[in-house]
């Protein structure tokens, strides 16, 4: 009896509640062009396969590296007006918030490619030149539209639905999913990636770039390094079915 139920639970595939489809979207990093293209592919998917309820779950790291961080936030805000959307916080988004709260800390962010984000908001390092980095931080706070500030402040650390748990970087093994620290959810790497055991749910994450989506029994990594490769990926989950939509494969098909 006991082994029978164990067998059943072992064979049971992770799934979402019926009637819900999730589009989980990996690290955008300033590539508004790819995000708009992916939204278009998702719209086409929704037209082809209607569903009672579709939810976008964005895995964070909207800013830095790529050239158009400001336009990425505009695109997400516009999307949230017509589609149900949950936006999670990435470590780069957290550094941006830290620079706003503590202008002297902006140096940490600049080392992580924050300069591209500042440029997208119309600032250059000349805005802090001849004075202190903290002046650049204050100039950024002044340049950031109120609705963008509200967006960054409203980012969530994780999202859980059915047998799936979504977070930017991953989770720390051995700690309940509802007791994870912000630091681990946004920054963790090898302690999470190397763990073979069960986390309680399948963790859908970005943060660590992979050439192709990394699908393991206990986690799915979907950061396909869009800013460098041109491949921005959405993982589509419906029931126990998993599909992928990405900007590079779609471009190949169109060529």
State the nearest-atom distance from the C-beta of 90 to Mn ion, in Å.
5
163 neighbors 201 (Cβ within 8 angstroms)? yes
d(CA 154, CA 8): 40
Region binding Mn ion by CB under 5 A among candidate stretches 48-56, 84-92, 148-156, 194-202: 84-92
Between the two ends of the chain, the Cα-to-Cα distance in Å is 56
Q: Rg of the chain over CA atoms, in angstroms?
A: 19
For 117, 164, 177, 197, the CA distances from 200, given in Å and listed in that order, are: 36, 9, 8, 9
d(CA 160, CA 176): 13
211 neighbors 195 (Cβ within 8 angstroms)? no
The contact pattern for Mn ion, residues 195-224, with x = CB under 5 A and - = no contact, is ------------x-----------------
66 backbone dihedrals φ, ψ, rounded to 5°: -75, 170
Nearer to Mn ion, 114 or 128 (CB): 114
Beta strands 202-205; 219-221: pairing state:
parallel
Beta strands 53-58; 20-25: pairing state:
parallel
Burial tier of 143 (Cβ tally within 10 Å: 0-12, 13-18, 19+): middle
Query: Total residues at the site for Mn ion (CB under 5 A)?
Result: 4
Q: Identify which of 101, 23, 116 has the alpha carbon closest to the alpha carbon of residue 71.
A: 116
Region binding Mn ion by CB under 5 A among candidate stretches 58-66, 110-118, 138-146, 228-236: 58-66
- Interacting residues with Mn ion between 139 and 198 (CB under 5 A): none
State the nearest-atom distance from the C-beta of 189 to Mn ion, in Å.
9
Residue with token string 């994780």: 158
Region binding Mn ion by CB under 5 A among candidate stretches 33-41, 60-68, 177-185, 196-204: 60-68
Nearer to Mn ion, 138 or 151 (CB): 151
Nearer to Mn ion, 35 or 54 (CB): 35
Nearer to Mn ion, 30 or 90 (CB): 90
State the nearest-atom distance from the C-beta of 146 to Mn ion, in Å.
26
State the nearest-atom distance from the C-beta of 185 to Mn ion, in Å.
11
Nearer to Mn ion, 21 or 120 (CB): 120
**Which of 26, 30, 66, 90 touches Mn ion (CB under 5 A)?**
90
Structure tokens at 111: 């080392």
Q: Is 91 in the site for Mn ion (CB under 5 A)?
A: yes
Nearer to Mn ion, 34 or 139 (CB): 34
- Nearest-CB residue for Mn ion: 207
State the nearest-atom distance from the C-beta of 206 to Mn ion, in Å.
6
Q: Can you give the binding site for Mn ion, defined by CB under 5 A?
A: 61, 90-91, 207
């Amino acid at each position: 009896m006991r082994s029978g139920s164990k067998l059943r639970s072992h064979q049971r595939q992770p799934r979402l509640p019926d009637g819900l489809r999730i589009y989980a979207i990996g690290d955008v990093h300033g590539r508004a062009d790819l995000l708009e293209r992916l939204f278009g592919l998702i719209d086409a998917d929704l037209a082809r396969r209607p569903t009672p309820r579709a939810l976008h779950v964005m895995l964070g790291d909207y800013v830095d590296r790529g050239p158009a961080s400001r336009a990425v936030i505009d695109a997400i805000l516009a999307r949230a007006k017509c589609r149900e959307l949950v936006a999670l916080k990435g470590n780069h988004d957290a550094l941006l918030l830290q620079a706003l709260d503590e202008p002297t800390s902006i140096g940490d962010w600049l080392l992580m490619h924050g300069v591209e984000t500042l440029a997208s908001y119309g600032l250059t390092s000349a805005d802090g030149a001849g004075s202190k980095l903290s002046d650049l931080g204050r100039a950024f706070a002044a340049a950031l539209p109120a609705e963008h500030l509200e967006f960054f402040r409203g980012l969530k650390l994780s999202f859980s639905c059915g047998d799936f748990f979504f977070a930017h970087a991953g989770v720390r093994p051995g700690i309940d999913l509802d007791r994870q620290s912000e630091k681990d959810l946004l920054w963790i790497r090898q302690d999470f990636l190397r763990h073979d055991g069960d986390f309680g749910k399948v963790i859908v994450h970005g943060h660590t770039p992979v050439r192709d989506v990394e699908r393991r029994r206990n986690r799915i990594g979907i950061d396909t390094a869009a800013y460098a490769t041109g491949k921005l990926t959405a993982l589509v989950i419906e029931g126990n079915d998993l599909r992928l939509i990405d900007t590079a494969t779609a471009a190949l098909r169109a060529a």
